[in-house]
Amino acid sequence: MSEYVKNLMVDVKAKNPAEPEFHQAVQEVADSLVLVLEKHPEYRSAKVLERIIEPERVIMFRVPWVDDQGEVQINRGFRIEMNSAIGPYKGGLRFHPSVNLGILKFLAFEQVFKNSLTTLPMGGGKGGSDFDPKGKSDAEVMRFCQSFMTELQRHIGPNTDVPAGDIGVGGREIGFMFGQYKKIKNEFTGVLTGKGRNWGGSLIRPEATGYGAVYFAKEMLTTRNETLEGKVCLVSGSGNVAQFTTEKVLDLGGKVVTLSDSQGYIYDEEGIDREKLAYVMDLKNVRRGRIKEYAEKYPNAVYTALDRNADHNPLWNHKADCAFPSATQNEINGKDAQNLVNNGVYVISEGANMPSDLDAVNIFIENKTLYGPGKAANAGGVAVSGLEMAQNSMRYSWTREEVDNRLAMIMKSIHETCVTTAEKYGTPGNYVNGANIGGFVKVADAMLDLGIV
Ligand code: NDP
Ligand code: 2IT
């Protein structure tokens, strides 16, 4: 059967050249699915995995806009509508200069399995642009978002495709895009999630990914009769996911000692308390500054600039118990993973999408760590997006407690699916197999029911 994966990967690479992140994501899932395809020849004969790998639709478009100097700028926009077997396409939009087709295809592919794990009826999609919001004025961001939505609106809808935020897309960007959609369509609908409180957003959606990643870690620790109380945690990133991961770790009695951005990281041995976290939230969300400023404000913290040519990231080389990678893909390589294990880290809950490369994943599994892969551990964000869609459909909103309880229940259920599925397929404790197979089966069965479409 690994012959099957080998041949599949030869085809995937030939058909999707120069998309290394997409190859990586498919490889990891295919390796797990060998276990289920052996038991279920019907999935193989209906070429279910081969069909899941091929996006149902890829939309790529020009996004022209005018900057504050009056100069014309041109970016590229994308939406990958990956799979709609179990619900409308659902997934975030990423605005970052590194965005390209392959990165969005890997993200859309991961989203299919993640959304299935949430138990909610959502298919998988992802989109975005190579637009860099850094250093842009609010007016420039607005003009870009409006131009982006002027094209995207003809492809999406509350029952077709429901985008949300991701890197570089937060409440501000969702607001500008929602405004433009509403104006063009003359319709107030739940076409985007992550909306503001006063215009259809759900309570807890901003917090959901970070909170969810910590709830997932809590569930993993429970299997060893442990809690987060007193645990030292490494967190990367300093955006939406990193901030609310830090908040929930504090709520549960743990201590976060690192945060980062694309230029460097801070190590604060005393821990990032609530006052310091409030400073970070203001720094990143309001002043849109750099994490380096944290070490200027709190001189006991050490700032280290990121060396892109180094063979490891020093953020992952500190004594700790837990790691919450919450920045971006492939931020942990094999060497980093080994450093984490050597430093005593045995809980890894991925807030980011595919932050660990394949070598790192293998090291975590070989060392029997509690390793929660992104498609399970960070599913809280899209899960609360699903709850936002439900509230929009009802024209009603739930309280903070109601949404938070549902989020905690969903994370518990995803954890349970991972554990029982991994056991059922003979690899107990392997959350990668549990998440990949658990997410796959529901989509695969739906695809069998729906025929060859
Ligand atoms: P934000 O834009 O709010 O924050 C991203 C953070 O990661 C910033 O600190 C950013 O630093 C850093 N970062 C981005 N790119 C790189 C890079 N190439 N190298 C190092 N650091 C980088 O995004 P989110 O917090 O929303 O997203 C973080 C991760 O979580 C992503 O992988 C995303 O896909 C994933 N995720 C997000 C969800 C959500 O609901 N928002 C849901 C599930 C997963 P800088 O400021 O320098 O760019
Ligand atoms: O990667 C992700 O799950 C997200 N960026 C959130 C997607 C969503 O639709 O809320």
CATH label of the domain that carries residue 155: 3.40.50.10860
Mean pLDDT of 384-400: 98
Q: Is 276 considered catalytic here?
A: no
Residues 181 and 242 in one domain: no
In this prediction, what percent of the chain has a pLDDT beyond 90? Answer: 100
For residue range 406-417, list pLDDT tens digits in order.
Answer: 999 999 999 999
Ligand 1, residues at Cβ distance < 6 Å: 165-168, 170, 209, 237-242, 261-263, 326-328, 351-353, 378, 381
Residues 181 and 213 in one domain: no
Considering the domain boundaries, does residue 441 fall inside one? Answer: no
Mean pLDDT of the chain: 98
Ligand 2, residues at Cβ distance < 6 Å: 90-92, 111, 114, 164, 166, 193, 353, 381-382, 385
- In the chain, the number of structural domains is 2
Considering the domain boundaries, does residue 377 fall inside one? Answer: no
Catalytic residue among 114, 126, 195, 276: 126
Closest ligand (CA of 92) = 2
Considering the domain boundaries, does residue 375 fall inside one? Answer: no
For residue range 243-296, list pLDDT tens digits in order.
Answer: 999 999 999 999 999 999 999 999 999 999 999 999 999 999 999 999 999 999
Residues 84 and 181 in one domain: yes
Question: What does the angle CA 262 – CA 230 – CA 434 come to, to the nearest 5 degrees?
Answer: 65
Mean pLDDT of 379-393: 98
Residues 249 and 349 in one domain: yes
Domain of 250: which CATH number?
3.40.50.720
For residue range 112-157, list pLDDT tens digits in order.
Answer: 999 999 999 999 999 999 999 999 999 999 999 999 999 999 999 9
Four-residue CA torsion sign, 78, 393, 407, 399:
positive
pLDDT of residue 150: 98
pLDDT of residue 295: 98
Residues 171 and 225 in one domain: no
Residues 34 and 147 in one domain: yes
Considering the domain boundaries, does residue 343 fall inside one? Answer: yes
Residues 281 and 158 in one domain: no
Residues 28 and 172 in one domain: yes
Query: Are the C-beta atoms of 113 and 375 separated by less than 8 Å?
Result: yes
For residue range 164-217, list pLDDT tens digits in order.
Answer: 999 999 999 999 999 999 999 999 999 999 999 999 999 999 999 999 999 999
pLDDT of residue 1: 54
Residue 329, phi then psi, degrees to nearest 5: -70, 150
Residues 171 and 253 in one domain: no
What residues make up the domain containing 332?
208-368
Considering the domain boundaries, does residue 417 fall inside one? Answer: no
Instruction: Classify strands 161-164 and 89-95 as parallel, antiparallel or unpaired.
Output: parallel
Q: Which of 335, 353, 368 is the last residue of a domain?
A: 368
Mean pLDDT of 9-34: 98
> CA 8, CA 11: separation in Å to the nearest integer?
5
Closest ligand (CA of 114) = 2
For residue range 53-74, list pLDDT tens digits in order.
Answer: 999 999 999 999 999 999 999 9
pLDDT of residue 2: 85
